[in-house]
Homo-oligomer: A and B are copies of this chain.
């Protein structure tokens, strides 16, 4: 069913309240598409449609709504329905939702849940956002090492119906310590009498619960895992991070990185979203960054204003200020993105060895760029304005130094950022430009005094 048909069917349902029809549609449509269609309705209508579904299906669908929508829907639900949602939601989504609730809502919710769900929520919700523990789900399939394959399969048939995945099965001791992993495929292909321990992959890749979620996603991508086990420091199994979660984590991170580079991330670390962020917050975050850049700009303009004497002697100097100091920022943006990109792909690592490596590669390129652009600028300046040789010397020399220096500084900034624990992309392109502006005017007027200073003495 295409999107428009789905939308009109949903609208019809919101009026007819035909539960059987909705169940039929829900069975044949993926949750992502259903949620897209339902999201177009207002909260009360949406909730009315959702209540037509049996609780397990409803909770599964609920887990796919964006967090803001989930909060609205929850607020509109009766307490009994709220409890049902929590009882049937997947373990990781449920923990996230719980963490979004206010203190009072949590206190009224917990006693209403069955012990198993309550314990699970408290265990899974205990980890700070951004860690592997916070993303993990406890819905994994497990077997014991001494089980024979036939018994293991029977055990899985009995217990694994509602697990997040059963393609990777985790081999646990009676005290929940992770001994190994075995794939469903290997179980299917093995002899029925083989003990699991003989075919399991002992000492599998695993993540500690406190590992940053981005690193967990990287492990999944690097080792082509379907699910990554997350363990306590003791080695006991907490849960798993599945490959689909890893894809979402990486997608969000790359979006954040671009936002940082453009200077649109708040101090709290949330990305601004052009569609949904309230205009007030959008203004607040952006004006913060722009004010900092304005401050840099005042330093630059104060310095330039102080060169009034030289400027009044050689007015044309004023014309070249912006293009020359900008080139430092342009070259710096280039080299900074190169390094940030390589860091993101894991190819360049923070540390002196890679700093020297990058500098050794950037220096000759930056020097060559500086010379080429300086010559180009000088030629164009001569043709367009017919300036004298001394001004050409000033323009060419400062263009050379600004360009080359900009390239080298831009390449170093991501390392400096990592050193102080910041995301390299926070050293956004506008920040690089402002820093190079300030350095650039020092360099420019430095050369100006060098080559034209005699004019001042003469005057």
* B325, A322: Cβ atoms closer than 8 Å: yes
Contacts of A230 in B (CB 8 A): none
- Least CB distance, A102 to chain B, in whole angstroms: 27
* B341, A156: Cβ atoms closer than 8 Å: no
Q: Taking the complex as formed, is A268 at the interface, i.e. its CB lies under 8 A from any CB of chain B?
A: no
- Least CB distance, A335 to chain B, in whole angstroms: 8
Assembly CA distance A32 to B290 (angstroms): 43
User: Contacting A224 at CB < 8 Å: which of B244, B340, B429?
Assistant: B244
Q: Taking the complex as formed, is A241 at the interface, i.e. its CB lies under 8 A from any CB of chain B?
A: no
Q: In the complex, which residue of chain B has the Cβ closest to the Cβ of A271?
A: B341
Q: Given contacts A322-B322, A334-B264, are A167 and B189 in contact (CB under 8 A)?
A: no
Interface residue count on the A side (C-beta < 8 Å): 119
Contacts of A441 in B (CB 8 A): 322
- Least CB distance, A430 to chain B, in whole angstroms: 4
Q: Taking the complex as formed, is A347 at the interface, i.e. its CB lies under 8 A from any CB of chain B?
A: yes
Assembly CA distance A433 to B226 (angstroms): 44
* B376, A157: Cβ atoms closer than 8 Å: no
* B161, A282: Cβ atoms closer than 8 Å: no
Q: Taking the complex as formed, is A20 at the interface, i.e. its CB lies under 8 A from any CB of chain B?
A: no
Q: In the complex, which residue of chain B has the Cβ closest to the Cβ of A320?
A: B301
User: Contacting A259 at CB < 8 Å: which of B222, B338, B373?
Assistant: B338
Partner-contacting stretch, out of A6-14, A41-49, A130-138, A378-386:
A378-386
* B323, A251: Cβ atoms closer than 8 Å: no
User: Contacting A326 at CB < 8 Å: which of B304, B345, B437?
Assistant: B437
Q: Given contacts A188-B157, A323-B294, A326-B434, are A264 and B338 in contact (CB under 8 A)?
A: yes
Q: Taking the complex as formed, is A266 at the interface, i.e. its CB lies under 8 A from any CB of chain B?
A: no
Q: In the complex, which residue of chain B has the Cβ closest to the Cβ of A285?
A: B334
Q: Given contacts A261-B258, A279-B361, A298-B380, are A274 and B311 in contact (CB under 8 A)?
A: no
Contacts of A156 in B (CB 8 A): 188
Partner-contacting stretch, out of A50-58, A80-88, A117-125, A362-370:
A362-370
Assembly CA distance A20 to B301 (angstroms): 71
Interface string of A67-87 (1 = CB under 8 A from B): 000000000000000000000
* A315, B311: Cβ atoms closer than 8 Å: yes
Contacts of A326 in B (CB 8 A): 293, 297, 322, 326, 433-434, 437
Q: Taking the complex as formed, is A243 at the interface, i.e. its CB lies under 8 A from any CB of chain B?
A: yes
A residues neighboring B (CB under 8 Å): 30, 32, 153, 156-157, 160-161, 166-167, 184-185, 188-189, 205, 220-224, 226, 243-244, 246-248, 250-251, 254-255, 257-259, 261-264, 271-275, 279, 282-283, 286-287, 289-291, 293-298, 300-302, 304-305, 308, 311-312, 315-327, 329-331, 333-342, 344-345, 347-348, 357-358, 361-362, 364-365, 368-369, 372-373, 376-377, 380-381, 384-385, 403, 411, 425, 428-430, 433-434, 437, 441
